[in-house]
């Protein structure tokens, strides 16, 4: 499977504009961008601290 091409992205953009209207599109795009940025930041923080690794057995 390949990723989304320009044609598919254009169709998605047109559908979003038709559903939400052109006036709300910048706010929606800004919200999606900030959500993606926060998600990437959370993934980077989670990957670097090692908290999700196997628990250590230091108590016994």
Q: State both tokens at 47.
A: 């990957």
Residue 28 is predicted with a pLDDT of 86
Q: What is the Cβ-side half-sphere exposure of residue 46, based on CA atoms within 13 angstroms? A: 7
pLDDT exceeds 70 at position 60: no
**CA–CA distance from 58 to each of 2, 35, 55 (Å)?**
46, 37, 9
Would you give the DSSP letter of residue 55?
Answer: P
Q: Which residue has the tokens 């499977």?
A: 1
Q: What is the pLDDT of residues 2-58, one digit of tens each?
A: 788 999 989 998 998 898 888 888 898 899 899 999 999 999 888 766 555 555 566
């Amino acid at each position: 499977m390949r990723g989304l091409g320009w044609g598919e992205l254009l169709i998605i953009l047109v559908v979003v504009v038709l559903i939400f209207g052109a006036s709300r599109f910048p706010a929606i795009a800004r919200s999606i961008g900030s959500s993606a940025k926060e998600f990437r930041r959370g993934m980077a923080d989670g990957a670097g601290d090692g908290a999700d690794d196997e628990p250590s057995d230091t108590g016994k």
